[in-house]
């Protein structure tokens, strides 16, 4: 496979995983229902048939067990990629991820590497039941030793999953499940962008919008509406949630003077809060308005019939843009 192809993100992830497995025989996939079923989102479809059950392991239904044994496999020189079925199911593995996986290299004083990827389909917009629409990235961003990334497009998904697998540090990989199906172009022969870098995806002059994953589509939609109304908006795709690549954000803010950070996760003690604080520290004299956060409410994710009210949409983003411009 080479050149530019049009495919959905789920398919792009599948192609990226497949390429990583072809490139390195130490890459293993582990998770619930990832074998014959191909995962509940079909991201691993066909990989069992191609690579066999020693490299595509349908595991017992135990998230801590998946991550804990992945740590042991990584100690043995493997590069496990663990699929957590849904965002809200990651918590049984929280101890193994935060107290063990994240700290292993440090505890071993650098003599041990932990090339483990934890794939988590995250976020709302799919009308699912409780525990199936959450955005838990802040819990993991707070833990040193982990790296966090989230693609927003099929092309990034194809490349970033391969870069995450190639990382010698543990990577929590947040897949925006509402973006699994829309298609986009994937250039399989291009050189990938560095994993932990953010990127300006739309240029503008008056307000900067920053977000990641599924939020990117909302931000681009908001920018389009604003443009029709005569407001020029720049959009930055965060891509890496930990560490955050601040330079493109700061450069944008120095130009626009206004920043709105948007996310599906609750706003209190969140990635958006952290970015707001850091940009305020580093670009204070460039700011014409306070950094404004647009986020999910600080409530449990509501029953699905209310998710459209809960999740920030283009209108909520534009309301924040209006507030920023009012200063």
Partner 1 sequence: MSYTEATLQLLSPAGSLVESDATAEYLPYVEKLSDDQLREFHRTMVITRAFDLEATNLQRQGQMGLWVPSLGQEAAQVGSGFAARDQDHIFPSYREHAVGIIRGLDALDIIRMLRGLTHGGWDSDKVKNFHIYTLVLGSQTLHATGYAMGLTLDGVTATGDPETDQAVVVYFGDGATSQGDVSEALIFAASYQTPTLFFLQNNQWAISVPVERQSRTPLYLRPAGFGIPGIQIDGNDVLISYASSRKYLEEARSGGGPRFIEALTYRMGAHTSSDDPTKYRKDAETAHWAELDPISRFETYLRGRGESDAFFRDLAVEAADYASDIRTRTLALENPTAELIFDNVYSEPHALVAEQKAWLENYESSFDQGGAA
Among 108, 185, 203, 227, binds partner 1 (CB under 8 A): 108
Among 4, 46, 107, 268, binds partner 1 (CB under 8 A): 107
Burial category of 138 from C-beta neighbours within 10 Å (exposed 0-12, middle 13-18, buried 19 and up): buried
Long-range contacts (CB closer than 8 Å, 24 or more residues apart) made by 248-253: 248/197, 248/198, 248/199, 248/200, 249/198, 249/208, 249/210, 249/275, 249/279, 250/279, 250/282, 250/283, 252/200, 252/208, 253/208, 253/279, 253/283, 253/286, 253/287
Among 17, 34, 56, 70, binds partner 1 (CB under 8 A): 70
- Binding of partner 1 by 62 (CB under 8 A): yes
Place of tokens 């409530």: 299
Q: Which of 319, 302, 317 is nearest to 132 (CA)?
A: 302
Residues 193-252 interacting with partner 1 (rule: CB under 8 A): 196, 242-245
Active site residues: 132
- Binding of partner 1 by 145 (CB under 8 A): yes
Whichever of 9 and 90 has its CB closer to partner 1, that residue is 90
Least gap, CB of 288 to partner 1 (angstroms): 27
Whichever of 242 and 256 has its CB closer to partner 1, that residue is 242
295 in helix, strand or coil? strand
**Nearest-angstrom CA–CA distance, 31 and 85:** 8
Whichever of 147 and 239 has its CB closer to partner 1, that residue is 147
Question: Cis link prior to 243 (omega < 30° from 0)?
Answer: yes
Among 24, 45, 103, 280, binds partner 1 (CB under 8 A): 103
281 in helix, strand or coil? helix
144: left (phi over 0), alpha (psi -120 to 50) or beta: beta
216 in helix, strand or coil? helix
Whichever of 70 and 138 has its CB closer to partner 1, that residue is 70
Let me know: does 144 contact 8? Beta carbons within 8 Å.
no
151 in helix, strand or coil? coil
- Binding of partner 1 by 71 (CB under 8 A): yes
- Binding of partner 1 by 113 (CB under 8 A): yes
* Binding piece for partner 1, criterion CB under 8 A, among 38-46, 66-74, 148-156, 229-237: 66-74
**Nearest-angstrom CA–CA distance, 138 and 264:** 11
Least gap, CB of 39 to partner 1 (angstroms): 19
Residues 146-185 interacting with partner 1 (rule: CB under 8 A): 147, 167-169
* Binding piece for partner 1, criterion CB under 8 A, among 110-118, 155-163, 264-272, 285-293: 110-118
Least gap, CB of 314 to partner 1 (angstroms): 31
Residues 76-95 interacting with partner 1 (rule: CB under 8 A): 76-78, 92, 95
Least gap, CB of 95 to partner 1 (angstroms): 7
Q: Which of 96, 32, 25, 77 is nearest to 55 (CA)?
A: 25
Least gap, CB of 130 to partner 1 (angstroms): 22
Which positions lie near partner 1, rule CB under 8 A? 28, 54, 59-60, 62, 64-65, 67-78, 92, 95-96, 99-100, 103, 105-111, 113-114, 144-145, 147, 167-169, 196, 242-245
């Amino acid at each position: 496979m080479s050149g530019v192809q049009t495919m959905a993100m789920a398919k792009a992830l599948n192609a990226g995983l497949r390429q990583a497995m072809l490139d390195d025989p130490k890459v293993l996939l582990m998770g619930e229902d990832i074998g014959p079923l191909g995962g509940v989102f079909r991201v691993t479809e066909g990989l069992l048939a191609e690579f066999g059950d020693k490299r595509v392991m349908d595991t017992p239904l135990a998230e801590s067990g998946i991550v804990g044994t992945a740590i042991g496999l990584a100690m043995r020189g493997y590069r496990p990629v663990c699929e957590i079925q849904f965002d809200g199911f990651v918590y049984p593995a929280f101890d193994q991820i935060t107290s063990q996986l994240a700290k292993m290299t440090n505890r071993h004083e650098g003599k041990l590497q932990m090339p483990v990827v934890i794939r988590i389909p995250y976020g709302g917009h799919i009308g699912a039941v409780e525990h199936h629409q959450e955005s838990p990235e802040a819990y993991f961003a707070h833990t040193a030793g982990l790296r966090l990334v989230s693609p927003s497009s099929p092309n990034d998904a194809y490349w970033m999953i391969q870069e995450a697998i190639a990382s010698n540090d543990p990577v929590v990989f947040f897949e925006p499940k509402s973006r699994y199906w829309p298609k986009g172009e994937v250039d399989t022969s291009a050189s990938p962008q560095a994993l932990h870098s953010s990127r300006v995806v739309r240029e503008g002059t008056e307000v900067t919008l920053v977000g990641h994953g599924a939020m990117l589509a909302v931000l681009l939609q908001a920018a389009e509406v604003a443009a029709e109304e005569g407001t020029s908006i720049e959009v930055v795709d965060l891509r890496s949630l930990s560490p955050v690549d601040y330079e493109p954000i700061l450069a944008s803010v120095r130009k626009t003077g206004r920043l709105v950070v948007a996310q599906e996760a609750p706003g209190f003690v969140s990635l958006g809060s952290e970015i707001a604080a850091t940009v305020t520290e580093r670009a204070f004299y460039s700011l014409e308005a306070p950094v404004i956060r647009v986020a999910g409410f600080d409530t449990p994710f509501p029953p699905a019939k209310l998710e459209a009210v809960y999740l920030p949409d283009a209108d909520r983003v534009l309301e924040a843009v209006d507030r920023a411009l009012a200063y």
